[in-house]
Amino acid sequence: MYGITGYSNGYHQNQQQHSSEEKRGGGRRRRGGRRSRHPPGFRVSDHHHYHYNNDDDDDKQEQKAPLPCTDFDMAYFHSYAHVGIHEEMIKDRVRTDTYRAAIMEHQSFIEGKVVMDVGCGTGILSIFCAQAGAKRVYAVDASDIALQANEVVKANNLAEKIIVLHGRVEDVEIDEEVDVIISEWMGYMLLYESMLGSVITARDRWLKHGGLILPSNATLYMAPITHPDRYNDSIEFWRNVYGIDMSAMLQLAKQCAFEEPCVETITGENVLTWPHVHVDCYTIQHDELESVSTRYKFQSMMRAPLHGFAFWFDVEFNGPTNSPTNNHIPSLLTGASNNNHIDGIQKKKRANPNEALVLSTAPEDPPTHWQQTLIYFYDPIEVEQDQVIEGSLTLSQSKENRRFMNIHLEYSSGGRSYVKESVMR
């Protein structure tokens, strides 16, 4: 899944390399799309309607009133009505094959069970679950893409098994609990797009005790990077343009190139030290998503200019029995607390004690449509081998639009401290 400006999900046509601003430039659209043709919670079929915004007071629904659907949310759902974003996601074979493999790996759990696909899009994951033997699949999507999903389901003779609900997970009603929740909710820097909250809502409303959530946990990584080519290409370039000194452009170039996070691909060669910081959450709750903080401390493996930080994530597909926190409320994100300090040992990759299937967006792994997210400094910092780089990171939902993410990065090295604030829109 994605992130964006105007699009709210990160899909942009005519994508280019480099900064997210450039990347977004080609396909940028205005916010505030048209309203959905149906009210929330409408079953996409000829004769069945589902209730929505029902005030039933049973245990699961007592939790919390759902967040209202704002104009920003409507624009976000509208962005998912475009075929291009689904084409790009489905063509991301690392993503789609890993989901299918995870479903097949848990086939014995899924067979004969009730599944909910949170944000079904074209219905592809729902169909994989039906193929794995699910008794019934509730395929929920608030975007008009649900209408297409329903056609796809019918064309594959799965209408008896897959019930497409066109509405927000927060608003639709179903008459039973589910055994499995599947969702592809991950945004850039994992949390961008704020879809995880909807998975939590579905979990708390319908998942049976001991049920399965795919993916079961997720980790966000960060690493300091050096990227001279990128810096030279966007900044140093202005020093000599066809023999003309255009250094007067430097400040503007830095501002424009590096103000916002950039979605682009880096390689292991850019990484100054392998990551040792992760942001994990145990049995995550809605309020924990509002702001996630961590402290970090790295030691550079080489002498090089430090240009910024790269971020990526992975998700694991553990079964319910492997999940360390699957007691009363199954965890969605598991691992260490979200206030980690590193302890000095730098590992290239984290251990995977459960040998779970992992969908990774790391620079050393096969590329995905998420690429990596880069936060560049306006000016590089020269670091020596073994020099310490430390600070803190806070990711918080924007008050203006919770689909946007505020990034507060503090870093210090060589006795100097810096702060970089950016917004991922």
Ligand X SMILES: C[S@@+](CC[C@H](N)C(=O)[O-])C[C@H]1O[C@@H](n2cnc3c(N)ncnc32)[C@H](O)[C@@H]1O
Q: According to the binding rule CB under 6 A, does residue 120 interact with ligand X?
A: yes
In whole angstroms, the minimum distance from the beta carbon of 304 to ligand X comes to 36
Q: Of the two residues 228 and 367, which places its CB atom closer to ligand X in the complex?
A: 367
Q: According to the binding rule CB under 6 A, does residue 143 interact with ligand X?
A: yes
Q: According to the binding rule CB under 6 A, does residue 129 interact with ligand X?
A: no
Stretch that binds ligand X, among 44-52, 84-92, 242-250, 340-348 (CB under 6 A): 84-92
Distance CA 178, CA 206 (A): 6
In whole angstroms, the minimum distance from the beta carbon of 144 to ligand X comes to 9
Q: According to the binding rule CB under 6 A, does residue 80 interact with ligand X?
A: yes
In whole angstroms, the minimum distance from the beta carbon of 81 to ligand X comes to 8
- What is the C-alpha end-to-end distance of the chain, expressed in Å? 14
Distance CA 163, CA 144 (A): 15
Per CB under 6 A, the list member of 110, 145, 153, 306 interacting with ligand X is 145
Site for ligand X in 230-269 (CB under 6 A): none
Residue in the structure block whose two tokens are 């360390």: 324
In whole angstroms, the minimum distance from the beta carbon of 279 to ligand X comes to 20
Stretch that binds ligand X, among 117-125, 244-252, 294-302, 328-336 (CB under 6 A): 117-125
Stretch that binds ligand X, among 83-91, 329-337, 356-364, 372-380 (CB under 6 A): 83-91
- Residues in CB range of 228: below 8 A, 6 or more apart: 305, 307
Q: According to the binding rule CB under 6 A, does residue 1 interact with ligand X?
A: yes
Q: Is 290 part of the annotated catalytic residue set?
A: no
In whole angstroms, the minimum distance from the beta carbon of 93 to ligand X comes to 12
Structure tokens at 55: 């005030």
Per CB under 6 A, the list member of 44, 75, 125, 225 interacting with ligand X is 125
Q: Is 193 part of the annotated catalytic residue set?
A: yes
Distance CA 351, CA 145 (A): 38
In whole angstroms, the minimum distance from the beta carbon of 145 to ligand X comes to 5
Contacts with ligand X, 89-108, as mask; x by CB under 6 A: xx------------------
Q: Of the two residues 167 and 391, which places its CB atom closer to ligand X in the complex?
A: 167
CB 338 within 8 A of CB 281: yes
Burial class from Cβ neighbours inside 10 Å (0-12, 13-18, 19+) for residue 350 reads middle
Site for ligand X in 167-186 (CB under 6 A): 168-170, 184
Helices 93-105 and 124-131, axial angle in degrees (round to 10): 30
Distance CA 425, CA 405 (A): 7
Q: According to the binding rule CB under 6 A, does residue 198 interact with ligand X?
A: yes
SS (H, E, C) 371-421: CEEEEEEEEEEEECCCCEEEEEEEEEECCCCCCCEEEEEEEEECCEEEEEE
Per CB under 6 A, the list member of 103, 115, 141, 206 interacting with ligand X is 141
Angle at 322 (CA atoms; ends 316, 327), nearest 5 degrees: 110
CB 43 within 8 A of CB 163: yes
- Residues in CB range of 151: below 8 A, 6 or more apart: none
Structure tokens at 401: 């639009």
In whole angstroms, the minimum distance from the beta carbon of 216 to ligand X comes to 16
Phi, psi of 179 (to 5 degrees): -90, -25
Q: According to the binding rule CB under 6 A, does residue 144 interact with ligand X?
A: no
Q: Of the two residues 9 and 413, which places its CB atom closer to ligand X in the complex?
A: 9
Q: According to the binding rule CB under 6 A, does residue 391 interact with ligand X?
A: no
- Given the residues 88, 170, 184, 264, select the one marked as catalytic: 184
Nearest to 281 by CA among 312, 320, 323: 323
Q: According to the binding rule CB under 6 A, does residue 195 interact with ligand X?
A: yes
In whole angstroms, the minimum distance from the beta carbon of 409 to ligand X comes to 26
What letter represents residue 215's amino acid?
P
- Given the residues 87, 160, 173, 193, select the one marked as catalytic: 193
- Residues in CB range of 156: below 8 A, 6 or more apart: 127
Q: Please identify every residue annotated as catalytic.
A: 184, 193
User: Which residues sit at the interface with ligand X, rule CB under 6 A?
Assistant: 1, 77, 80, 86, 89-90, 119-122, 124-125, 140-143, 145, 168-170, 184, 195, 198
